Amino acid sequence: MDRLDNTVRPYAWGSTTAIPRLLGLEPTGEPQAEMWMGAHPGAPSRTERGPLNEVVAEDPGKELGRAAVARFGPRLPFLLKILAAGAPLSLQVHPDLEQAREGYEDEERRGVPIDAPHRNYKDANHKPELICALTEFDGLCGFRAPEDAAGLLAALDVDSLKPYVDLLRAHPEEAALREVLTAVLSADPDDMARTVTETTAACARLGGEYAPYADLAHHYPGDPGVIAAMLLNYVQLQPGEALFLGAGIPHAYLNGLGVEIMANSDNVLRCGLTPKHVDVPELLRVVRFEAGDPGVLRPEASPDGEEVYATPIDEFRLSRYVVAEGADPHDLTRETPQILLCTSGSVRADSIDLTPGGSVFVPAGEKAEVSGSGTIFRATVVA
C-alpha cells in the first residue's frame, strides 16, 4: 500500500480554517477548498512510486484488478475529496453518461478548445457524487414541490416574483419547474438584479427559513441563482449523514466540511451563483424537472463493523469504520482498488500510521488491515 501526499485546491469558496484544523496545521489565511485523493490528471496524489495516475497506467491490471479494468477501463474510476465550503459553491447539475458522451463529441466536432471558458464537457463521462458530512453541512438538493416553492416565494411579497408564483401554481409539476427556471435564467439581467435585490431585503427582514437565501445574495448580489435556489430543497446534514447527487439533480453546497466521492469526471453545467459561463439551453436539456425528497442517507451497518453509504452506481462505493482501541483488526482486503482516509483519531493501516487527513492507496488484492482508535473511510468500486 502507498501513503498518499495530496494536493489541496485553493478555490475562492473554500474555508480558510476547516482543512488546516482537520490536519492539525496552522491556517495560512488562504482558502483551502478541496483535498484530492486519487489519480485524476488535474491533481494526482503523489506516492513513493510516483504520481498515482502514472503508477496505475504502468500496470492497470495489477493496481486496479482485472474486474475493475474490464468494467471501467484502465484508470481509477473514482476521485475522493475532503471538501471544505466556507462560502456557497455554484448551483450546478451533472449529465448522465449518454448526455456526457453526446455533449463531449459535439464540442469536439465543433472544435471548442478543451480549456475554453464556455466549454461544457471536459470529458465523456458522467459525474454522480456523494457528500458525507464531517461537521454540520448545509446544501441545496433537488426541486421542492412546486406548491411549496410558490408559498416560499409568495410570502416575500415581491411584485416581480408573482408571475413565478402563478406559474408554479398553474401547471403540472414538470412544466411548472421547467418554465420558472427557464424564465429566471433567461430574464433581462438588469430586471433580474432588481428582483434579487428586493428579494434579498425581504429575506433579511423575515429571517428564519429565508436566512440562507439572504446569505447567498450576500455572496452573489444580483445573481439569478438566488431565485433559482429557492426552487430547491434546503438540507442540513448532521455529521455522518450524506447526500447522493445523481444525474440531472440541481444542487449546491453552502457550508461545512465533508468527505466527497465522485466518478472520475469534470463535467459541470452551472445554473447560477457563479461568474462563470451558464449555458441555459444545454442546462435545460440535462436538468431533471422532478420534485422530491432530497433523500438524506445514513450508513447501513454490516456484522463486520463496516458502515456503507448505499448508492445506485458502481464507479464508487463509500463506507466507514469506527475503529476501537484493543479490538481485533478489521481485514479490508478486496479484489478492487481502495483508498483509505482517516478522519479522526489515530489508525494504523498495516504498517502505516494515519492521523486525520492521512490516506493510503491499496492496490487490488493487497492485504489491508486497520486497527487503532478512530474513524476511517474506505473508497472502492463495485466490480
Contact 367, 350 (CB under 8 A): yes
- Taking the C-alpha atoms of residue 204 and residue 210, their distance in angstroms, rounded to an integer, is 7
- Taking the C-alpha atoms of residue 36 and residue 64, their distance in angstroms, rounded to an integer, is 19
The H or E element that residue 227 is part of is helix 225-229
- Considering 144, 270, 320, 334, which one is annotated as catalytic? 270
- Which SS3 state, helix, strand or coil, does residue 194 take? helix
| Active-site residue flag, 270 | yes
- Taking the C-alpha atoms of residue 380 and residue 377, their distance in angstroms, rounded to an integer, is 10
CB neighbours of 278 closer than 8 A, spacing ≥ 6? 185, 270, 271, 272
Contact 99, 125 (CB under 8 A): no
Contact 274, 225 (CB under 8 A): yes
Grid cell of 376 as nine digits = 476511517
Residue in the structure block whose three cell numbers are 475532503: 82
- Which SS3 state, helix, strand or coil, does residue 232 take? strand
**Which string of DSSP letters, residue by residue, matches 13-77?**
TBBSSHHHHHHT----SS-B-EEEES--TTSPPEETTEEHHHHHHH-HHHHH-HHHHHHH-SS--
Grid cell of 180 as nine digits = 420558472
Beta bridge partners of 7: 36
For the annotated catalytic residues, the residue numbers are 270
